Amino acid sequence: MAVIAANWAQQLGKLVVCAGVALLPLMAQAASEDDPWESFNRPVFTFNDTLDTYALKPLAQGYQAVMPQFLEDGVHNMFSNVGDVGNLANDLLQGKVHAAGVDTSRLIFNTTFGLLGFFDVANQMDLRRSDEDFGQTFGVWGVGSGPYLILPLLGPSTARDAVSKIPDSVLQPYPYINDVPARNSIHGLEVIDTRASLLSAEKMITGDKYVFIRNAYLQNREFRVTDGQVVDDF
């Protein structure tokens, strides 16, 4: 089920963001904090949350229960190593030369000495991983976040971040894996691994779950776009 959901999410997400490209100039003018699309977002959130509660979360819990910790960490490290390709590309697009050098070194050391990233040897060398994507790059380039948006199966986003999923997908390995069963299995494993890594964070959620996740997402994205620099309007 996770594989089917992952593939459906990828295709549906592309349709949503392609439609959003034409509307991006208008959407960027809206204040994301006002959540003007809440009447659309809440039903989609409920759908996603129900699917997660009865399908994806139990799979993630089962995955954690049967996987030895070192093996779970290794799988997570391998997916992170692949993600460093996107980090490197966005480092360069944002003009972060030092971060690009660090991520290049991480790719080289983890792919070779770390056995395709299973061991994060670069972290032991104090080479800290960046966390960049095209949504952040667009933000650095001056593109506004636009309204908050919940994507079916894909979860929290904004108008800008939804559009950015198109170039982000180009830097993922899945478009280049011709073996369909292998591609689906790897993608499904990544979905489960990602969900498993979020299980402990659920304890932090209080009050209205929709509002909590929305505020946390928007604040986190703003923090990452500005690299933690707080702008004092006064």
pLDDT digits (tens, 9 = 90+) for 66-122: 999 999 999 999 999 999 999 999 999 999 999 999 999 999 999 999 999 999 999
What token pair was written down for 183? Answer: 């591609």
What integer is the mean pLDDT of 1-21?
A: 41
- How much is the pLDDT for 106? 97
Q: Which residue has the higher pLDDT, 158 or 31?
A: 158
Instruction: Provide the pLDDT confidence category of residue 12 given band limits of 50, 70 and 90.
Output: very low
Question: At which residue do the structure tokens 């959130």 appear?
Answer: 45
- Tens digit of each residue's pLDDT (9 = 90 or more) over 139-154: 999 999 999 999 999 9
What percentage of the chain carries pLDDT values higher than 70? Answer: 83
- How much is the pLDDT for 230? 59
- How much is the pLDDT for 108? 97
**DSSP designation for 55:** I
Instruction: Provide the pLDDT confidence category of residue 177 given band limits of 50, 70 and 90.
Output: very high
Residue 128 has pLDDT above 90, yes or no: yes
Q: Give the H/E segment covering residue 47.
A: helix 38-51
* Ordered alpha helix ranges (H), 28-154: 38-51, 57-66, 69-93, 97-112, 121-124, 134-140
Instruction: Provide the pLDDT confidence category of residue 229 given band limits of 50, 70 and 90.
Output: confident
- How much is the pLDDT for 203? 87
Q: CA triplet 227, 220, 130: central angle to 5 degrees? A: 45
- How much is the pLDDT for 23? 41
**Residue spans per domain, the chain:** 2-225
